[in-house]
Structure 1
Amino acid sequence: MVSALRLACCLSYGARRALGKALIPLLFAISGAAAAETTEIVALGDSLTAGYGLAEGEGFVPQLQGWLVANGLDVRVVNAGVSGDTTAGGLSRLDWSLTPETDVLIVALGGNDLLRGLDPGMSRSNLDAILTTATARGLKVLLVGLPGPANYGPDWKAEFDAIFPDLAAKHGVAMEPNFMAGLAEAAGGTDPATIRPLMQADGIHPNSEGVKAIVGYLGPKLRDLLAN
């Protein structure tokens, strides 16, 4: 490029003009390549991803975007969270949630499956299909789960809890078994009374400070994934 520009200085006006026109597409191509370096991360999830009950800028996606940028990463995090969505709902909208620019997929689904006590076998099948599509497209994936409750019985809980490590191993993707793990880390324990200040009044969704704690825990895992 430098040699071409030096050569242009020695050419006649007409030749310089012709050469300039020839260089324009190359300059646009270089500019486009630089813009393409921004990593697009799609966060596919439910209300925890969507930012339920929080003001604009306080939800999981904008706080994660801010954390990653503050840590020197050139990323764009896309909010593909839908409140109330199950693993089946996430699978049904996966194709139009991803774009040719998507590089990384965060899969944070299963919370509504466990709240409704749905068949863990169906949850496993849906997540398996999501990961199959993602890995076939060459995407990096962070699979984020939630621990199953005990009120459906120990067998149900064991079957549900096994979904995330099993599928992560099967597809060779990164995994965090508990979306809410950052709350316990920030609060210094799992006692509900200790964690309550980080939760909204419904006791299900984190407040802004709770999301900050979650992002502080998940952010390094995503950073490591991007650096791998």
Structure 2
Amino acid sequence: MTLLLLGCGGKTSEKKNQEESNVETETKASSSDSKKKILFFGDSLTAGYGLEMGEAFPILIQHRIDSLGLEYRVINAGLSGETTASGKNRLDWVLEDGISIVIIELGANDGLRGVPLNETESNLQAMVDMVQEKLPEAEIILAGMKIPPNMGLEYTSRFENIFPELAEKENVYLIPFLLENVAGIPDLNQSDGIHPTVEGQKIVADNVWEVLGPLL
């Protein structure tokens, strides 16, 4: 970054440096805008609840992308507390030109609250439809989710099956279980037993990368 030495180089030097700085800034912005975008659309798991900025798995994915020199920019649109119903209403606001991959990570809050399964399925379907209509060239990845059997074994089983069935029906990609090798392991989750720790987020990033990586 060009430094402006105010009062040391005179007006001509200052103006030249300012122009160089502006060109550099514009070049960086142009470079960033030219990158393809990956949208992570989800709840607190995507947002990185309870962690510092930069510790959520979408950011870890960005670091991996950068290390490989791939021209993609991650957009983290995670929102704590999001359900499939609220996500359906919010999705249209974050879909924008240049997005080539959309990862939909929603449903966990539905399951924990006992939302009727047909509503969860309908909302996820609506979001897939919305992406396909607005960004027909974009790839879609659905993040599978499982929940504790608090709502009964039948509800739990049917909930888990929503994701692979929808992925197969719509011919989209599926992360079988976002929290594989993390859920239920105390050392990898925060005190609430739900949200991954920093180390847990690293494993989640690996789970995502297994599906996302080959697409890049």
Structure 1 or 2, whichever has the larger Rg, is 1
The answer to whether the 8 Å contact 2:144/2:164 transfers is no
Q: State how far apart, in whole Å, the 1-side matches of 2:37 and 2:98 are.
A: 6
2:211 aligned with 1:214: no
Q: State how far apart, in whole Å, the 1-side matches of 2:73 and 2:204 are.
A: 19
Deviation at 1:35, TM superposition (A): 6.1
Residues 109-120 of structure 1 aligned to structure 2 (within 5 Å): 109-120=106-117
Secondary structure of the 1:162 match is helix
How big is each residue's C-alpha offset from its partner over 1:2-26, in whole Å with a ceiling of 9 and x where there is no partner?
A: xxxxxxxxxxxxxxxxxxxxxxxxx
Structure 2: where are the runs of 5+ without partners?
Answer: 1-29
Q: State how far apart, in whole Å, the 2-side matches of 1:71 and 1:213 are.
A: 19
| CA-based RMSD | 2.0
How big is each residue's C-alpha offset from its partner over 1:153-186, in whole Å with a ceiling of 9 and x where there is no partner?
A: 22212221111011101111000121101437xx
For residue 155 of structure 2, what is the aligned residue in structure 1?
156
Q: State how far apart, in whole Å, the 1-side matches of 2:126 and 2:75 are.
A: 21
Residues 1-228 of structure 1 aligned to structure 2 (within 5 Å): 37-136=34-133, 137-138=135-136, 139-183=138-182, 192=184, 195-226=185-216
Q: State how far apart, in whole Å, the 1-side matches of 2:157 and 2:113 are.
A: 16
Change (3 A) 1:131 1:42: same
TM-score, with length taken from structure 2: 0.80
Moved more, 175-184 or 164-173: 175-184
Q: State how far apart, in whole Å, the 2-side matches of 1:205 and 1:60 are.
A: 12
How big is each residue's C-alpha offset from its partner over 1:40-74, in whole Å with a ceiling of 9 and x where there is no partner?
A: 01111000001111011111221121122223322
Structure 1 runs (4+) greater than 6 angstroms displaced: none
How big is each residue's C-alpha offset from its partner over 1:183-225, in whole Å with a ceiling of 9 and x where there is no partner?
A: 37xxxxxxx4xx2111111111001111011102211310112
The answer to whether the 8 Å contact 1:174/1:225 transfers is no
Q: State how far apart, in whole Å, the 2-side matches of 1:36 and 1:59 are.
A: 23
Secondary structure of the 1:151 match is helix
How big is each residue's C-alpha offset from its partner over 1:138-158, in whole Å with a ceiling of 9 and x where there is no partner?
A: 210110021133221222122
Secondary structure of the 1:93 match is helix
Moved more, 148-157 or 209-218: 148-157
Q: State how far apart, in whole Å, the 2-side matches of 1:142 and 1:69 are.
A: 21
Alignment length (residue pairs): 187
How big is each residue's C-alpha offset from its partner over 1:87-123, in whole Å with a ceiling of 9 and x where there is no partner?
A: 0111101111111121110000011001101111100
Q: State how far apart, in whole Å, the 1-side matches of 2:116 and 2:192 are.
A: 25
Structure 1: where are the runs of 5+ without partners?
Answer: 1-31, 185-191
The answer to whether the 8 Å contact 1:108/1:144 transfers is yes
TM-score, with length taken from structure 1: 0.76
